[in-house]
């Protein structure tokens, strides 16, 4: 991943028809084992970490600034861990570390792996939506069904969710403002910032969720913590900001355990 093309060299924009994100708790040791140096778990109550599975019906995806008619439509699935990162300016940034991405198009798999480090795989993927439901499926055993409540109504939280309310759960509804990629050979972190408009995640009721990729990634004993959907919104990503990192990862991890005096960047541009 050390070639310049893997470093997110330009911005991207798209339109999200639907973005459905399910967040799961997972054993802390399993989550930490997947993270590169310099990234820390973004925890709830200083204890629980989360992995999210996101399914997005993406329209008109294209380099930022290009006309929409040059864009392409894709279905995307992404598996990511909620993390924090202390940047060179002393700010603590909330964001996501992507473990694996999936798409229904070979074109997206090829270009995604040329220009990003998001680990794209191509799988048969379908996503359908009705007035009050969204269904995601694949022949590999993936099947997710979400019911969307009427406006102003909230479904019950998932059974055994650690969150006391949907308000607290919303802090763990991806995507977050930043996405991080670490290049160990260069000792560099690529920071990609998302830009949103009209982002209002709505809680949904998950009636079925079979997501084999979570087990393939090595996560066991997961518990559904929340699920949100957003619909019909523009979304874009800026070109990456690259930071050269110190070589002593352990000392930075120690610094990250104490956020005293740092600025927590928790909002989008």
Rounded Cα distance between 25 and 31, Å, is: 9
Number of other CB atoms surrounding residue 110 within 10 Å? 13
Residue of 125, 99, 117, 121 whose CA lies nearest to 26: 99
Place of tokens 């794209």: 120
The domain of 218 spans 4-265
What pLDDT was estimated at residue 160?
95
Indicate if the alpha-carbon torsion angle 160, 166, 170, 173 is positive or negative: positive
What pLDDT was estimated at residue 64?
86
Q: Which CATH number goes with the domain that contains 78? A: 2.40.400
**75: burial class by Cβ within 10 Å (0-12, 13-18, 19+)?**
buried
pLDDT tens sequence for the chain (269 residues):
444 455 788 889 999 999 999 999 999 999 999 999 999 999 998 889 999 999 999 999 988 888 888 889 999 999 999 999 999 989 999 999 999 999 999 988 988 888 888 889 999 999 999 889 999 999 999 999 999 988 778 999 999 999 999 999 999 987 788 999 888 888 889 999 998 877 889 999 999 999 999 999 999 899 999 999 999 999 999 999 999 988 444 434 444 434 433 345 554 33
Number of other CB atoms surrounding residue 51 within 10 Å? 24
Q: Is the pTM of this model over 0.75?
A: yes
Place of tokens 């991405």: 101
Number of domains within the chain = 1
What pLDDT was estimated at residue 266?
53
HEC assignment per residue over the chain: CCCHHHCCCCCEEEEEEEEEEEEEECCHHHHHHCCCCCCEECCECCCECEEEEEEEEEEEEEECCCCHHHCEEEEEEEEEEEEEEECCCCEEEEEEEEEEEEECCHHHHHHHHHHCCCCEEECCCEEEECCCEEEEECCCCCEEEEECCCCCCCCCCCCCCCCCCHHHHHHHCCCCCEEEEEECCCCEEEEEEEEECCCCCEECEEEEEECHHHHHCCCCCCEEEEEEEEEEEEEEECCCEEEECCCCHHHHHHHHCCCCCCEEECCCC
What pLDDT was estimated at residue 42?
96
């Amino acid at each position: 991943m050390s070639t310049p093309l893997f470093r997110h060299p330009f911005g991207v924009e798209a339109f999200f028809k639907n973005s459905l994100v399910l967040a799961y708790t997972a054993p802390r040791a399993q989550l930490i084992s997947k993270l590169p140096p310099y990234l820390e778990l973004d925890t709830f109550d200083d204890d629980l970490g989360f992995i999210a599975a996101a399914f997005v019906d993406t329209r008109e995806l294209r380099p930022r600034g290009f006309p929409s008619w040059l864009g392409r439509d894709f279905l995307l699935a992404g598996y990511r861990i909620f993390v924090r990162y202390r940047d060179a300016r002393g700010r603590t940034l909330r964001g996501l570390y992507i473990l694996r991405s999936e798409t229904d198009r070979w074109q997206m798999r090829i270009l995604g792996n040329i220009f990003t480090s998001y680990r794209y795989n191509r799988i048969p993927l379908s996503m359908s939506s009705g007035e009050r439901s969204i269904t995601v499926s694949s022949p590999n055993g993936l099947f997710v069904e979400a019911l969307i409540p009427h406006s102003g109504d909230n479904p019950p939280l998932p059974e055994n969710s650690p969150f006391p309310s949907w308000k607290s759960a919303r802090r763990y509804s991806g995507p977050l403002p930043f996405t991080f990629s670490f290049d160990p050979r260069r000792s560099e972190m690529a920071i990609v910032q998302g830009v949103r408009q009209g982002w209002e995640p709505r809680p949904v009721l998950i009636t079925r969720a079979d997501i084999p990729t979570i087990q393939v990634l090595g996560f066991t004993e997961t518990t559904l913590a929340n699920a949100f959907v957003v619909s019909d919104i523009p979304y874009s990503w800026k070109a990456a900001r690259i930071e050269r990192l110190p070589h002593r990862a352990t000392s930075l991890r120690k610094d990250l355990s104490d956020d005293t005096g740092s600025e927590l960047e928790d909002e989008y541009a």
